[in-house]
Structure 1
């Protein structure tokens, strides 16, 4: 056998597999073959398929003596491994050292992140390891050093793990720019990306490839693994609740599941819910089973302690959030529980994959719906998993703030020519749209801060020489850049306070930023009116009227478009209702009898009187964020038309608005021009644009969070960005960062794309039904009105009581209808 033949597995590696009782899987060999042919590769394989080893197999092969054939092993940096999490890189290092040591390969492996000591970072630049495990941010910083050209000149491979976790966001933009820079340094560089959950692999092939070279990326599908076993937990004797998200009804059954399994991961969708479920489990834990909790708000020490306990098999259950979504291989997990709605099939599959972590053994998962809509969502997700359907976030144009940060990093490494750098950044899919004038504006911003700020010396970071070459104005700017560069801007919490200083608690800034003076909301059991937002304090007073937004609901994941479409299709498939529990089937049957059901491609709108007011329900299924934005816009339009809006409530599935007068024609309220008139006014008058501007100002380097030996507080950063924002809005409203902030506000903060989908359906066909009383489908959302629904779940009992009261009205069958049915 010719061990140097393209695609052949070196005998050293084959023997290592044999010694472990393993075999080289087809997709692992395919990754090696693609590398030998000089092709980039994208591997899509189930969890437990050995994806990480597949990505590193060409690297291991390159250091095998049978391939070297007497030639010395490669020196310098050979392979970069990029992951979205520092913890994942550390876990991979531990697992990668085993084959390296057991095969006896001369490979040095190190990690590099924000936690790496500065002396080791300096040594890595002068004497790099063969394999460096890092993150997009740390890679970008490495590229900012003058020795970057020499460091990466011999780089052969870049392996991107869990590519779905960041490719569609700003971290993906930064990585795409870094890949373009690396490819310019070494045109022979080969790229590989790995994932278990991609809805459209071709989109990721286009992202991974140099622009226009999608055919250079080979798509490798992993060997199919055992189908996961996904069940939905139902109450034994009670009905599925009408409302609520905590699913505390399931705690006794959940304790039984934990007792019956070796190790259980209990996923929740928010940190607050994780804390609540953890406490509920402890209260019911009569057997004193060791149960832990893990989420991003815990201290690093607390997380590491729990992680070590998991790795050592000392825990029977761990309540967690998305902090454990990705592929860290811990302990002997044999059950995954999803509390509440799964929100997306890909996210659910990623979480299910944490169980067993072996390709040939089915992962076991249990979905626990908190209410009836969540049951439908869980059922849709269960079907999607069985059919192998995936979903995910769409790609969008790269951010100008990220591009500005990259330009500064390039300048820190050394002088550059404008045309060369523009061509380089356009080789990334995320920035292929950049034209000459746009790039010139980015350069002008990095050079001077823009027209309105150019008189301030501290914004003058780069300058163009007479020969057209751009360079740093002073070496100190390089140090400041490396101290402040990064993409992740920590979300701030807003203090809710009365003017006299009395504090009521904290809310997420994303919620507070959507409010404007005069808006009312319910928090801490009180109706509050917003007076203003100042220095991360939401100043309020007691409201003189009922809250427009009935409760503060906290951050949440929106239902994916794919799952929403599935739920709508299930609602219109009456024959399929036989698969549902009796109470869910009865709920839908009475809804169908009394009103309509949402149909694919159409928008169902119901109007009905209730407790002396007029209510309108819009069944959008576009997620909480989009419905929240739509509620803000619709109430403004109702006000302008004299309909006397008094408030709205939003869920993932429904928007309910109420007021003094009935809505006779909802089409007028949902015309597309709402996104060009009311939307612009709302965003400009609220704090959304200010919040978006703060993030892009930090990412672009306009405002620095860190100074030598000192870090600015969030309050100080906000004060600085607010001052600059006011200057730019007044003197340069078309500034590059205002443009970038608008892009963020539209796409991320308001989910305006999904709002547009609602308007599109409304423009085609609205099913408007006028009812005499509330409908069964409106009960889950209606029960939230006037109820404090803090994300801890502590108010679920109040919600359930209200829901049962409303349901008794909605589900009541009139005698006349009973007689009609009897005939």
Structure 2
């Protein structure tokens, strides 16, 4: 029988004209379950569903101390939830104290929260891990009853989620019987997420809400077709600006920060009416992001150009349109972004897609169909990474002496580490204690010591400060702060060190939507002045470079097998038909390889549909094999879907290049001394605690950290190649930057079926790849015209004209 709402809450709902949604009632009815996962659409009241049992349990004012912990991927989301929760608490006069705790929280409040925690604490995985590292953690969390994990799908996709699950396993020790609640709108595999978030081997109950009305989503029609390659959506500026005029507030999403800066700049130049438009991304100064957020909440902005910093469940004002510029690469991400518009359960979200180039038209159409069919994509989760496990062992040591047996038993209750073996755990413990065989002679890595009773503890208690300063799995890019020159100059954000190093006084670049002039470097800060130039350089932001999901790629390959494509624009249909006439369209069960001459060079195009990282790796491996075979490759370029290689000799036999063993042998040889491995080693060694980015005296800059990590890598590669960190590095490189698993997946699905087609000229599908190569390295005002002329020439060669 459904649990009735207490009169105070029933009256509050009635006063607002609301009714409890069925999934909110189900969450109330099952509030005592050890683990619940609620999958409900954006705007469906997920947050209130997650918190309603806590508010009711706290309403009588008898609970002292911390009752509910809320964890989100974003600091801004925690602050937003605090604002939203404060409304019902204030209007019902509930005796509940709600606070957030993130990296932006003042130190004085953090210290007070540990001694006198609020009833509901809103935080992030990193702040939670830090809290568990203190000796007083058992006291702070002793009364904890529920943990709400918001946007659980986003947490599960990174090492932040692995760290969070280890922290929750530790909290179970302080608060046995802790109830866990996961919330998400975009879960492709609920059972998998349930195993991830529940205490192993406890089951999870999955509640699926009514998905609500289908989104109103389409491709934006533009007078000018997208360019053949590259892009960034600049061709669509007039059409986007018209949509901004027609709507109250529009979010304009981009996949990278640099693309957002370029688009904002062009949008602002075209904005002759002076419509209030802002920009928001993770490289901007916190003060600037907060100003934009406040203006959004107040309804003062008509459009916000943004990146993933506004992806998740924040309710930003009266947003009634979302525009996605560039192919979304991932259907779940697209659904999440669409949900920012019309953030109400009963109203369909409205969104428009803007392909950045011709191929992205196909990808956007595939994504549209996937959204309408509720076909979400996701990659299978591997076991919990061991560098995160090493960090957790050090965190546990900061909190006090521990038993290895007890810690191992505790860790294996965390979903990602349920299959952790004792030898794997012992290897991590040994590494944390001594640094490993090749490093055990150095005092700096002698961090743990075993007492006569068998318990482990910090060899030097002062090490706790350094460990706490380096908690977290988010890896900083090598960035420098950007600040206006002069006493008290306002911070603007940050740029990559490599970009800063390329600047000379007088150079201009974009940051925060404004053009600034580089004046010099002072105390690791880039000093700039405002500049009136209209043609800046562009700041190089790392951000997240998405690869298309395998599910989306498979859908595109299925589309290629249609006889016609009435859903696509005429120019794209003609392009695909011509490709089928002069060559073939790629298929999922066969690998298409084209060979053709162009501009005095021999070219090979491999349509692997394996994602950008894997296609990049494929280029490296194939050129190495082609070199061994005397084909004299000169270079390559890769996209999500293909790798184009150019050289001196034509490819006559493709099958020998794609044997798995051949590729794997080449990969091993290439990885042995490659910068990819050193970059991966640096990230894993930082997470595992071998390298410190932050110290009590000063923070290392990127060059210092790279130098020290390179020395360590070279030392271990020479003297201890089986060192734990070397094993972890190889695993991480294969899974991430190299993504060899995608190449193996490609080899499995084609099963040796390779179609090598020799053409007398570039094919229509390969022609845009030649533009990716950068054949027109001309800077200045004529660049866009020359690129357009080169595109027209290539398409004429390929047999296609606009």
Q: Take 1:45 and 1:460, find their aligned partners in 2: how far apart are those partners?
A: 48
Q: Take 2:658 and 2:781, find their aligned partners in 1: how far apart are those partners?
A: 33
Write the deviation string for residues 66-95 of structure 1: whole angstroms up to 9, x where unpaired: xxxxxx611111110000111100000000
- The answer to whether the 8 Å contact 2:137/2:399 transfers is yes
Post-superposition offset of 1:794: 10
Write the deviation string for residues 155-213 of structure 1: whole angstroms up to 9, x where unpaired: 11000001111212110110010111112332311100111111111110110112233
- Which residue of the partner structure matches residue 334 of structure 2? 348
- Which residue of the partner structure matches residue 624 of structure 1? 612
- The answer to whether the 8 Å contact 2:655/2:752 transfers is no
Between 458-467 and 637-646, the greater mean CA deviation after superposition: 458-467
- The answer to whether the 8 Å contact 1:255/1:285 transfers is yes
- Which residue of the partner structure matches residue 594 of structure 2? 606
2:647 is aligned, of 655, 659, 674, to: 659
Secondary structure at the residue paired with 1:649? strand
- The answer to whether the 8 Å contact 1:615/1:656 transfers is yes
- Which residue of the partner structure matches residue 682 of structure 2? 694
Q: Take 1:789 and 1:666, find their aligned partners in 2: how far apart are those partners?
A: 31
1:189 is aligned, of 175, 178, 184, to: 178
Q: Structure 2 length normalisation: TM-score?
A: 0.90
Q: Structure 2 vs 1, CA of residues 106 and 160 (structure 1 numbering), >3 Å: closer, same or farther?
A: same
For structure 2, the 5+ residue unaligned runs are 479-495, 510-523, 525-539
Secondary structure at the residue paired with 1:605? strand
Q: Take 1:205 and 1:792, find their aligned partners in 2: how far apart are those partners?
A: 54
Post-superposition offset of 1:759: 2.5
Post-superposition offset of 1:41: 0.4
1:51 is aligned, of 40, 46, 50, to: 46
Q: Structure 2 vs 1, CA of residues 504 and 401 (structure 1 numbering), >3 Å: closer, same or farther?
A: farther
1:781 is aligned, of 735, 753, 769, to: 769
- Which residue of the partner structure matches residue 635 of structure 2? 647
- Which residue of the partner structure matches residue 226 of structure 1? 213
1:80 is aligned, of 69, 75, 94, to: 69
2:455 is aligned, of 469, 488, 491, to: 469
Matched, 1:495 2:498: yes
Q: After the TM superposition, which residues 327-726 of structure 1 pair with which residues of structure 2 at under 5 Å, given as runs? A: 327-492=313-478, 493=496, 495=498, 556-575=545-564, 577-726=565-714
Post-superposition offset of 1:351: 0.7
- Which residue of the partner structure matches residue 276 of structure 1? 262
Q: Structure 2 vs 1, CA of residues 497 and 336 (structure 1 numbering), >3 Å: closer, same or farther?
A: closer
Matched, 1:169 2:158: yes
Secondary structure at the residue paired with 1:777? coil
Secondary structure at the residue paired with 1:662? coil
Between 779-788 and 616-625, the greater mean CA deviation after superposition: 779-788
Post-superposition offset of 1:465: 1.6
- The answer to whether the 8 Å contact 1:487/1:699 transfers is yes
Q: Take 2:779 and 2:413, find their aligned partners in 1: how far apart are those partners?
A: 44
Q: Take 1:116 and 1:468, find their aligned partners in 2: how far apart are those partners?
A: 38
Between 364-373 and 81-90, the greater mean CA deviation after superposition: 364-373
Q: Take 1:700 and 1:622, find their aligned partners in 2: how far apart are those partners?
A: 30
For structure 1, the 5+ residue unaligned runs are 66-71, 508-534, 536-550, 814-823
Secondary structure at the residue paired with 2:365? helix
Q: Structure 2 vs 1, CA of residues 122 and 222 (structure 1 numbering), >3 Å: closer, same or farther?
A: same
- Which residue of the partner structure matches residue 140 of structure 1? 129
- The answer to whether the 8 Å contact 2:588/2:749 transfers is no
Post-superposition offset of 1:676: 2.6
Q: Take 2:730 and 2:325, find their aligned partners in 1: how far apart are those partners?
A: 35
Write the deviation string for residues 233-270 of structure 1: whole angstroms up to 9, x where unpaired: 2333x444322322222111111111111111111111
Q: Take 2:688 and 2:662, find their aligned partners in 1: how far apart are those partners?
A: 31
Q: Take 2:64 and 2:780, find their aligned partners in 1: how far apart are those partners?
A: 54
Q: Take 1:269 and 1:312, find their aligned partners in 2: how far apart are those partners?
A: 26
Matched, 1:21 2:17: yes
Matched, 1:95 2:84: yes
Post-superposition offset of 1:348: 0.7
Matched, 1:118 2:107: yes
Post-superposition offset of 1:224: 2.3
Q: Take 1:769 and 1:792, find their aligned partners in 2: how far apart are those partners?
A: 39
Q: Take 2:407 and 2:542, find their aligned partners in 1: how far apart are those partners?
A: 45
Write the deviation string for residues 501-524 of structure 1: whole angstroms up to 9, x where unpaired: 9999999xxxxxxxxxxxxxxxxx
Q: After the TM superposition, which residues 31-42 of structure 1 pair with which residues of structure 2 at under 5 Å, given as runs? A: 31-36=27-32, 38-42=33-37
Post-superposition offset of 1:292: 1.0
Q: Structure 2 vs 1, CA of residues 697 and 553 (structure 1 numbering), >3 Å: closer, same or farther?
A: closer
Q: Take 1:758 and 1:505, find their aligned partners in 2: how far apart are those partners?
A: 44
Q: Structure 2 vs 1, CA of residues 180 and 798 (structure 1 numbering), >3 Å: closer, same or farther?
A: farther
- Which residue of the partner structure matches residue 545 of structure 1? none
Post-superposition offset of 1:272: 1.0
Q: Take 1:790 and 1:263, find their aligned partners in 2: how far apart are those partners?
A: 38
Q: Structure 2 vs 1, CA of residues 363 and 555 (structure 1 numbering), >3 Å: closer, same or farther?
A: closer
- The answer to whether the 8 Å contact 1:47/1:359 transfers is yes
Matched, 1:180 2:183: no
- The answer to whether the 8 Å contact 2:497/2:702 transfers is no
Q: Structure 2 vs 1, CA of residues 438 and 384 (structure 1 numbering), >3 Å: closer, same or farther?
A: same
Q: Take 1:506 and 1:726, find their aligned partners in 2: how far apart are those partners?
A: 38
Post-superposition offset of 1:52: 0.8
Q: Structure 2 vs 1, CA of residues 615 and 465 (structure 1 numbering), >3 Å: closer, same or farther?
A: same
- The answer to whether the 8 Å contact 1:82/1:158 transfers is yes
- Which residue of the partner structure matches residue 489 of structure 2? none
Q: Take 1:680 and 1:789, find their aligned partners in 2: how far apart are those partners?
A: 34
- Which residue of the partner structure matches residue 536 of structure 2? none
Write the deviation string for residues 619-669 of structure 1: whole angstroms up to 9, x where unpaired: 122222211111111101100111110111111121111211111121111
- The answer to whether the 8 Å contact 1:353/1:363 transfers is yes
Write the deviation string for residues 360-395 of structure 1: whole angstroms up to 9, x where unpaired: 111111111122210001101111111111113431
Q: Structure 1 length normalisation: TM-score?
A: 0.88
Write the deviation string for residues 669-705 of structure 1: whole angstroms up to 9, x where unpaired: 1110144311122222221111111111211112222
Q: Structure 2 vs 1, CA of residues 339 and 233 (structure 1 numbering), >3 Å: closer, same or farther?
A: same
Matched, 1:750 2:738: yes
- Which residue of the partner structure matches residue 127 of structure 1? 116
Number of aligned positions between the proteins: 755
- The answer to whether the 8 Å contact 1:608/1:770 transfers is yes
- The answer to whether the 8 Å contact 1:264/1:336 transfers is yes
